[in-house]
A and B are shown apart, each in its own frame.
Chain A
């Protein structure tokens, strides 16, 4: 599969072929601009490849019409480096918002949200606003929001990029726990510490090509 952005001199991903099984935990590593973030965008159907196919959850999303995208995204959770929380809503409201805008009732939110906040270790901090939480705690809220709908896949784009090493490890434990529930986790990172500790499948990308695909791999 190949993806070239308009106006780019070379493809962002060049003839890349990857297969990720259900329930796997995969790191995509590589220097900035290597094309690893493009993987996330392709999986989210934010961009489409110029050549080849992208199949997610058994569905070919390459030719998916844009009006089907919202429903497709409900099966994918997403975490980013910058958390992307709503600053004027509490932890509880941030997670509940994600449920309510896809048509779940307030009653469902009342049942599910405390549960997932407990799971990510934020029990008792439901009614704090993002600015009252530490970076690690904010990222936990983001993970809770991504996971509350029990997605099949969790995409994480440098989730530890803004966190100190100890907090990063905690977030990784959380992602590991989520992975153990059967959720596929795809994580883009250049945090070598974490990759080395986790000992999971590592796919290294350089200049748009896969240079290494290793089970139980390390960073360098």
Chain B
């Protein structure tokens, strides 16, 4: 009986103030969408870092007039280096082939460049990509070397952008969460005001505190959960739209986000939505009803 009473009070409460309820749910949904999105991005950036940095290479380009002896010395030295995992030598012909491949859609450029003009190079995979600096310091003065290029420098820039997007989404999620919080507090105050007579009688005749608070707290929790479901739907539609559009081209570059990963963020969103709403409602009631 009491459960039925509480539940019907929750529904009545949500309906009584439906515009406020909708505003609360939408704000909550956007906030949780941002939160879920930034959570996914965080995971993805981690995955991609593992993947890319593992394959990252340091290229040591040799001078065009490098001597045979200098090259062999360098190769021996690199192969003996404990920091180095793997060394590949790329001669002029191979470099030209790679160049042709890379600029296949710019035949003018390919025709203008001769195999002779491209430098020989060593492609080095490091045991730990972070140790690039040591390799650089060690070999920059070696004879016959033109430049040392670290691919991870480029990756750093890419990941810098991705991390920036992620932080932006998180910051937005927090701002929206603050707005959602205030809306919850306000909705609960309005609800408590519209039921002030009932509350006064309940307090007078000795209804327990949880019984007085439960309808209000549950009202906020229900709104929070609906918000998290809408947030999930937003994530799903973003993935659907992205998969069908130009974003699909990026799939090769960015590790794709799977459906299961999207659905796994839902418990997080639902928990945050529910708990934040419940706590806000409870604190509001303590101040407002003094129960």
Contacts and interface: CB of A to CB of B under 8 A. Distances in A.
Contact of B206 (A70, A100, A106): A70
B211 interface: yes
Interface stretch (A2-10, A47-55, A71-79, A162-170): A71-79
B107 to A, nearest CB: 83
A42 interface: no
Given A71-B206, A145-B205, A100 B1 contact: yes
A55 B201 CA distance: 24
B1 A106 contact: yes
A73 B198 CA distance: 16
Interface string A89-101: 0000000011011
A84 B1 contact: no
A220 interface: no
Nearest to A44: B204
A72 B205 CA distance: 9
Interface residues of B, number: 17
A10 B137 CA distance: 84
A185 B26 CA distance: 53
B208 interface: yes
Contacts of B212: 101
Contact of A86 (B1, B2, B198): B198
B205 A98 contact: yes
A54 B203 CA distance: 20
A105 interface: yes
A190 B15 CA distance: 45
B114 interface: no
A74 B206 contact: yes
Given A86-B197, A86-B198, A106-B1, A101 B204 contact: no
A73 B209 contact: no
Given A67-B209, A84-B197, A86-B197, A73 B204 contact: yes
A157 to B, nearest CB: 11
A101 B209 CA distance: 10
B210 to A, nearest CB: 9
Contact of B209 (A70, A84, A86, A145): A70
A133 B198 CA distance: 19
A99 to B, nearest CB: 8
B1 A101 contact: no
Nearest to B212: A101
Contacts of A97: 198, 201
Nearest to A75: B206
Contacts of A105: 1
A84 B207 contact: no
B200 A84 contact: yes
A86 B201 contact: yes
A20 interface: no
A101 B202 contact: yes
A67 B200 CA distance: 16
B287 interface: no
A103 interface: yes
A186 to B, nearest CB: 15
A102 interface: yes
A98 B201 contact: yes
A101 B211 contact: yes
Nearest to A94: B201
Contacts of A12: none
B201 A73 contact: no
A160 interface: no
Contacts of B198: 86, 97
Nearest to A76: B206
Interface in B189-231: 197-198, 200-209, 211-212
A128 to B, nearest CB: 18
A102 B206 contact: yes
A220 to B, nearest CB: 32
A149 interface: yes
Interface in A99-119: 100-103, 105-106
22 contacts: A67-B209, A70-B203, A70-B206, A70-B207, A70-B209, A71-B206, A72-B206, A73-B203, A74-B205, A84-B197, A86-B198, A87-B197, A97-B198, A98-B205, A100-B1, A100-B5, A101-B207, A102-B205, A103-B208, A105-B1, A106-B1, A149-B205
4 shortest interchain CB distances as A-B pairs: A73-B206, A101-B207, A74-B206, A98-B205
Interface of A: 67, 69-74, 76, 78, 84, 86-87, 97-98, 100-103, 105-106, 145, 149
Given A73-B205, A98-B201, A102-B205, 7 more contacts: A78-B204, A78-B205, A97-B198, A100-B2, A101-B212, A102-B208, A106-B1
